[in-house]
Chain A
Amino acid sequence: MPFVVRRLLAVAPTILVVATVTFIALQIIPGDIAQIMLGTDARPEDVTRLRRELGLNRPLAVRYVEWLGNLLRGDLGTSITYREPVGRLIVARLPVTYSVAFAAMLVAIGIALPLGIAAARRAWSPLDLTALVGSQLGLAVPTFWMGILLLLGFAAALPIFPLQGYVGFTRDPVQWLRHLALPAIALGVERAAALTRMVRASVLEELTRDYVRTARSKGLREPSVLRRHVLRNALIPVLTVMGLQLGFLLGGTIVVEQVFGLPGLGRLLLQGIYSRDLVVVQGAVITIAVTFALLNLLVDLLYAAVDPRITYD
Chain B
Amino acid sequence: MSRQERQNLNTRWPRSVTLLLVAALLVVGAPAGAQSPRDRLVFALSGGPDTLDPHGTAATLAFMVMKSLYDTLVEPDDEGKMLPGLAESWTVSPDGITWTFKLRAGVRFHHGKTLDATDVKATLERILDPATRSPRRLQIGPIRSVEVMDPLAVRIVLTERFAPLLAALAEGWGAILPADLIARKHEFGTRPVGTGPFTLAEWQRDSFIRLQRFDGYWIKGQPRLREVFIRFVPERAVKVAGLLSGEFDAIDGIDPDDLPRVRANPDIKVITQVTSLVNVVAVNNSRGPLRDVRVRRALWHAIDRKQVLKTAYGTESIPSAVFMDVTSPFWVDVGDPYPFDPERARRLLSEAGHSGGLTLDLALPQPFQVHIEAGQLVQAMLAKVGITARPRVVEFGFWLSRVFGGGEYDLTVIGHTGKLDPEGRLTGWGDPARNYIRYENQKAADLIHAGRITANPEHRRRIYAEALKLMTEDAMFVILGTPVRYVGTNRNVKDFRQLYAVDTYDFRKTSK
Contact B242 A152 (CB under 8 A): no
Asked if A164 and B138 make an inter-chain contact with CB atoms under 8 angstroms apart, the answer reads no
- Residues A163 and B241 in contact in the complex (CB < 8 Å), given A31-B400, A44-B433, A275-B397: yes
Contact status B404-A161, CB under 8 Å: no
Q: Shortest CB–CB separation between residue B36 and chain A, in angstroms?
A: 13
B27 CB-CB contact with A under 8 Å: yes
> Contacts A82-B189, A166-B204 known; A40 to B400 CB distance under 8 Å?
yes
Check if B133 sits within 8 Å of A165, measured CB to CB: no
- Could you mark each residue 383-419 of chain B with 1 if its beta carbon is under 8 Å from any beta carbon of chain A, else 0? 0000000000001111011101100000000101101
Are B397 and A274 interface neighbours, CB within 8 A? yes
The reply on A120 being an interface residue by CB < 8 A is no
B206 & A151 in contact (Cβ 8 Å cutoff): no
Residues from chain B with Cβ under 8 Å of A268 in the complex: 205-206
In the bound complex, residues from chain B placing their C-beta under 8 Å from that of A271 are 206
Report whether B57 and A37 are in contact in the complex, using a CB–CB cutoff of 8 Å.
yes
List 16 A-B pairs, Cβ < 8 Å. A31-B401, A31-B402, A36-B400, A44-B433, A45-B434, A82-B205, A83-B50, A148-B238, A156-B238, A157-B245, A159-B245, A165-B208, A165-B231, A174-B25, A261-B235, A267-B206
Query: Counting CB contacts under 8 A, is A99 at the interface?
Result: no
Q: Are B135 and A46 in contact (CB under 8 A)?
A: yes
Asked if residues A38 and B135 are in contact (CB atoms below 8 Å), the reply is: yes
- How far does the Cβ of B137 sit from chain A's closest Cβ, in whole Å? 7
Interface residues on A, range: 35 or more
Across the interface, A156 reaches (CB within 8 A) one of B27, B245, B405, B414, namely: B245
Of the candidate stretches A2-10, A49-57, A186-194, A231-239, the one touching chain B is A49-57
Q: Which residues of A contact B (CB under 8 A)?
A: 29-32, 35-47, 49-50, 53-54, 81-84, 89, 92-93, 148, 151-152, 155-157, 159-166, 174-175, 177-178, 181, 221, 258-259, 261-263, 267-268, 271, 273-276
Query: Contact flags (1/0) for B41-76 with A, using CB distance below 8 Å?
Result: 000000000110100111100000000000000000
Beyond the given pairs A161-B30, A181-B26, 15 more chain A to chain B contacts, judged by CB atoms under 8 angstroms and listed by A's residue number, are: A31-B395, A31-B402, A37-B135, A50-B135, A82-B50, A83-B53, A151-B241, A155-B241, A159-B245, A159-B247, A165-B231, A258-B235, A259-B238, A268-B205, A274-B396
Cα distance, A239 to B433, chains bound together (Å) = 60
Once the chains bind, are B405 and A42 in contact (CB under 8 Å)?
yes
Interface size grouping (class) on chain B: 35 or more
CB of B222 within 8 Å of the partner chain? no
Q: Select which of B34, B242, B398, B424 is within 8 A of A164 by beta carbon.
A: B242
Q: How far apart sit A81 and B56, CA to CA, in the bound complex (Å)?
A: 8
Residues of chain A contacted by B56 (CB below 8 angstroms): 83
Q: Which of A43, A81, A155, A267 is B50 in contact with, Cβ under 8 Å?
A: A81
Minimum C-beta distance from B6 to chain A (A): 14
Judged by DSSP, the binding face of A is helix
* B416: chain A residues within 8 A (beta carbon): 40
| In the complex with contacts A156-B244, A165-B208, A276-B237 CB distance below 8 A | no
Contact A163 B51 (CB under 8 A): no
CB of A35 within 8 A of CB of B130, answer no
**CB < 8 Å: which of A53, A92, A152, A261 contacts B232?**
A261
The answer to whether B238 touches A163, judged by C-beta atoms less than 8 angstroms apart, is yes
Contacts A156-B245, A163-B241 given; indicate if A89 touches B235 (C-beta within 8 A).
no
A161/B26 in contact, CB under 8 A: yes
CB-based contact B242/A156 at 8 Å: yes
B190 interface residue, CB < 8 Å from A? yes
**B428: CB under 8 A from chain A?**
yes
Q: Which of A54, A174, A273 contacts B26 (CB 8 A)?
A: A174
Residues of B within 8 A of A83 (CB): 50-51, 53, 56, 189
Q: Are B138 and A36 in contact (CB under 8 A)?
A: no
B397 touches A276 (CB 8 A): yes
B166 at the interface (CB under 8 A from A): no
Option from B138, B245, B395, B414 in Cβ contact (under 8 Å) with A163 = B245
> CA of A82 to CA of B241 in the docked complex: distance in angstroms?
30
**With the chains together, A42 CA to B242 CA distance in Å?**
35
